[in-house]
Amino acid sequence: MARVLITGAAGFIGHQLCSSLEAQGHRVVGVDNLSVPSLLPPRATLIREDVRALTPDFFRRHRFDRVVHLAAKKSVSASFRHLDHAVENFEMSLRLLDACAKAGVERVFLAGSCEMYGDSAAELDERSPYRPRSPYAVSKVAGEHLAEVYMQCNPRMKVTSLRFFNIYGPTEGVDAVIPCFVTRALRGEPIRIEGDGTQSRDFTYIDDAVRVILSILNDEARQHRSINISSGQSHTVREVAAAVRAFLPHLQVQHVPGRQNEIQSFPSSNDRIRECYGFQPRTSLLEGVAKVIRFHQRAARRPAARLQLAL
């Protein structure tokens, strides 16, 4: 079994990935500075630390087989207002890759993003060019370029960018579109659709995403430079609102101005994970939205126990 480091281990994806890896028998060390509020309690074994403070000696001491770097300031809109977010993302990737290289870590996985692709009417696969349209997206592109530099200097080091396309689920932060719609609707408040709501995204349920991430991490035969983590199915914001309304019929909608430099669509190709790992999404958007609603309904009924809810 492998020794795995997860940064951002208290986050939405990180928390579930840690649990799933441990269930497979891997030894997992989680690191998070807890700067982003979580709907789940921190893991008992979590190391509270900033990624930028991790030294080569830390990596040598633990002798990690794999490092999965998920920690990031991930808000696209906030990256225009808080320029330090993109700088922090870049610095975390730089210092982590440098420490891994000096410690001899051979397998590193970086959290990429569909935002790196920018707007496109064509289906986006791993060969599609970078067209970032936000400081956040640029920080993710920079992370991939840094990986190229360190792999050139360290031929044994292999870095994979996991390019996430809107992963969602019950414990996702309420700043994201689906839990935001759900929590506002449950409070009787109108949901806010930015622009006309025809912008579309590829939504992938968390269980499906973690399942294919595990396949990639456990794959000793193949090494991908980048790989899309997506359902291959796009939905408009209007369709997301309709899915919420299917369970909460009194949903009210309010249209507000669109975001700065927003991208209209991210039509994803997930051919690589289908061909290499037999991936098929098991949870439809309607089923996933239902699970998010049930989670927040239970949380609202038992606010004191909110963080202990079983999914």
Query: What CA–CA distance (Å, rounded) separates 190 from 230?
Result: 29
Beta strands 200-202 and 234-236: pairing type? Answer: antiparallel
* Identity of residue 135: P
Token duo for residue 290? 């239902």
According to DSSP, residue 265 is labeled: B
Query: What CA–CA distance (Å, rounded) separates 108 from 93?
Result: 11
The segment(s) of the chain belonging to CATH 3.90.25.10 are 177-201+232-266+282-308
Global pTM reads: 0.93
Distance of CA 267 to the CA centre of its chain: 17
Assess whether pLDDT exceeds 90 at residue 36. no
- Count the alpha carbons within 13 Å of 219 in the hemisphere toward its beta carbon: 18
pLDDT in tens, 178-219: 999 999 999 999 999 999 999 999 999 999 999 999 999 999
Query: What CA–CA distance (Å, rounded) separates 108 from 131?
Result: 24
Q: What is the pLDDT of residue 306?
A: 45
CATH homologous superfamily, domain 177-201+232-266+282-308 = UDP-galactose 4-epimerase, domain 1 (3.90.25.10)
pLDDT in tens, 147-161: 999 999 999 999 999
Q: What is the pLDDT of residue 40?
A: 83
pLDDT in tens, 252-292: 999 999 888 888 898 999 999 999 999 999 999 999 999 99
The segment(s) of the chain belonging to CATH 3.40.50.720 are 3-165+204-229
Task: Write down how long the chain is.
Answer: 311
Assess whether pLDDT exceeds 60 at residue 308. no
Assess whether pLDDT exceeds 50 at residue 310. no
Q: Tell me the CATH architecture of domain 3-165+204-229.
A: 3-Layer(aba) Sandwich (3.40)
Which residues are 164's β-sheet partners? Answer: 113, 229
Q: What is the pLDDT of residue 37?
A: 81
pLDDT in tens, 82-109: 999 999 999 999 999 999 999 999 999 9
